[in-house]
Amino acid sequence: MQSPSIRIRCRDFTFVTFNFVDNDVAREAFDFIKSRTCKLGTVEKLYAFSHRPLKNEKEMNGWEFYDPKAEFRRQGISEKLPDKGWRVTTINKDYTFCDTYPAFLVVPSKISDNVLKYARDFRSRNRIPVLTYIHPINNCTITRSSQPLAGITRRTNVQDERLVAASFSAWMPGGSEESTPPASQQEPADSSMLEASLSDMERYEDELISRSAAIYDEKTGETRIYGRQQANMIVDARPSINAMVNQVQGMGSENMDKYKFATKTFLSIGNIHVMRNSLNRVVEALKDSDISPLAPNRDLLHQSNWLRHIHEILDGSAIITRRIGINHSHVLIHCSDGWDRTSQLSALAQIMLDPYFRTIEGFIVLVEKDWLSFGHMFRLRSGHLNHEDWFTIQKDALAGSKVQPGENDGRNDALQNVLTGARRFFNPNKDEADLDTASEVTSGKVVDEEATTPKMVSPVFHQFLDCTYQLIKQNPTRFEYNERFLRRLLYHLYSCQYGTFLYNSEKQRKDARVSERTSSVWDYFLCRKQEFTNPDYDPTVDDRIRGKERIILPNLKEIRWWHQVFGRTDDEMNGALNAAAAAENGRLAAVSSLQGCPRPDQISRSASGTPKPPGLGNTHSVLTAVETAHETITSDNKHSALRRSASAEGPNAFAAIRDGLSGLNIGKSILSNLGRAEASGSAIAPHTEQEMREMT
């Protein structure tokens, strides 16, 4: 009979096994670990509140590092600077306007606070469109919000329409001479160098958006102008099917009849449940690293779709970057509540657009601004207080069998798999198929209790860091911070040593007085800056020199596993990809030697010899649909029945929407509810609280 053992899986993806001689001792240790991690009861019992930082950390005062006034002044917005069409509002100074937004908000100058008050009820959790970034060259902007509460009747709000319209016209490209930067900082008159580097898929995405940006004659509905032009864009990070299901639940997406000044694009980025399950599969492939010398299970890595999700997030961010940096257009980003996928897309686009955010100082400001102040729910997504469901006991069923990666090791008796650490991300369940469907409606209120809700835990911030790693790997001289900086930041997301990531919003952090009672995580990094600085960093920005342009774009074919964060070697996780890339590059080199080498400016990333990561199609795009007031274009043209959204004012409105949803195979329960609502005029049967949580 094998001795009992306890397996601990940590948040930094290290795996530890403790072997015991006596079952009673093992049980006592198991219960002790479980009690000390699951029964703290409150965030204030975490290590951050008793941690005493070293002297050099105390001198940093990271809590004061981010100043929103200073950051937006850097972007050119201040009462003392010429009006760029934006102003600072104090409407949320006490967090009563929106308790998940920061106190410091920037809105269009022409929009009064009174308009904001009437607009807020139209956006989920009152998260109205507000400014987060303005481009220093063309003055185009990134604004962010939550989904509109349009519902099945396609409800509208004039004040919201005015707010979005004002955001898109606050400052048109090519402003006054005063705002024109020195010649050395300007972009080329045309963006030919950047455009030449685009892949076929990226050109396809831009063409799809540009087609929908045509100007129409209001009387005839015919196209008046077709071609390359400014195309202000609303980005809905969700698949279009998901947004439709949300619409049935009283939320949804913009009615583009009311936003004729913009094009709306739907992305196919999965919800928090999809991402949690994906990382769960990655951990299954890696879980025996402490007891087996074998490489990770590559089949499980492939089945996880983790690289596919990284591809989609980077692709969506690049679409936004090209809209602003190349097409000189404004972009509004939202998902459901506007604090998960919205933060990912907004922050990554800013890294691609602005060299400042590729410095250590700028990256800290970016995390503070687009993640912490805009209310990414770090406590909810991280599960700092643990959960008893993550502790399991398994009997020995495979004693003496050979250990295979990704399988039960068979060496434990009564106790195995204390699933702390990385396992907190994951909650294997029977409704896995449902999590990959369109259902992602959120509950009606934010979870206020501090107890961990397993199905609300998800690696959203981890994905952002992974995407940033991909950009660093592909642009090794363009970032001041190095890979270790990102890896250590992920570690401290879960270490609970600092107060930065313990709460869900700026308001909660102020209520808990974390700046007085804990240390900032930035203290740790700022006093060790040399350790996290890239020695090859070149801050030079010159748009006339290839490789030194202001804008960087990801090569989606070069996406690789962030092997360091998983504690594995590059060969173990990327060996097959790297070998295939080397072989293909050799083949292309041979072909080039026979045909003559093309000029550098003729080489695009579409001709890259690097093979696609597992699970990615050659033309896989995150873009699923483009919608305007005049038409809806899907990337695959499969759902022609939904070319135009059904108007709620028509005589057969509910039938039209139901038939459209039916063609998308969304689910019988939703469609049957819709049918009953049409027949009886009654409200759609509400979901239970548990169902609503699963549909986030």
Could you list the residues known to form a binding site for substrate, using ranges: 271-272, 335-341
What gap in Å lies between CA 310 and CA 59, rounded to an integer?
Answer: 37
Q: Coil, strand, or helix at residue 471? A: helix
Burial class (CB in 10 A: 0-12, 13-18, 19+), 464: buried
Ranges of H-type helices in 83-132: 113-119
Is 597 marked active-site? no
Terminal-to-terminal C-alpha distance of the chain: 45
Burial class (CB in 10 A: 0-12, 13-18, 19+), 14: middle
What gap in Å lies between CA 221 and CA 213, rounded to an integer?
Answer: 14
Mode of pairing for the β-strands spanning 623-627 and 331-334: unpaired
For residue 4, give the nearest of 401, 288, 399, 403 by alpha carbon: 399
Helix axes 460-474, 341-353, angle to 10 degrees: 20
Q: Return the half-sphere exposure (C-beta side, CA atoms, 13 A cut-off) of residue 405.
A: 20
What gap in Å lies between CA 334 and CA 670, rounded to an integer?
Answer: 24
What gap in Å lies between CA 148 and CA 164, rounded to an integer?
Answer: 12
What is the greatest pairwise CA distance in the chain?
Answer: 85
- Report yes or no: 674 and 659 within 8 Å, Cβ to Cβ: no
Name residue 443's amino acid: S
In the set 140, 335, 467, 527, the catalytic residue is: 335
For residue 77, give the nearest of 132, 11, 15, 121 by alpha carbon: 132
Q: Return the half-sphere exposure (C-beta side, CA atoms, 13 A cut-off) of residue 103.
A: 10
β-partners of residue 633 are 626
Binding residues: 271-272, 335-341
504 contact partners, CB below 8 Å, separation of at least 6: 100, 375, 376, 377, 378, 379, 380, 446
Is the sign of the CA dihedral 115, 120, 122, 123 positive or negative? Answer: positive
Question: Quick one: tokens of 376?
Answer: 């990414």
Q: How many residues are given for the chain?
A: 696
Q: Coil, strand, or helix at residue 584? A: helix
Just list the catalytic residues: 335
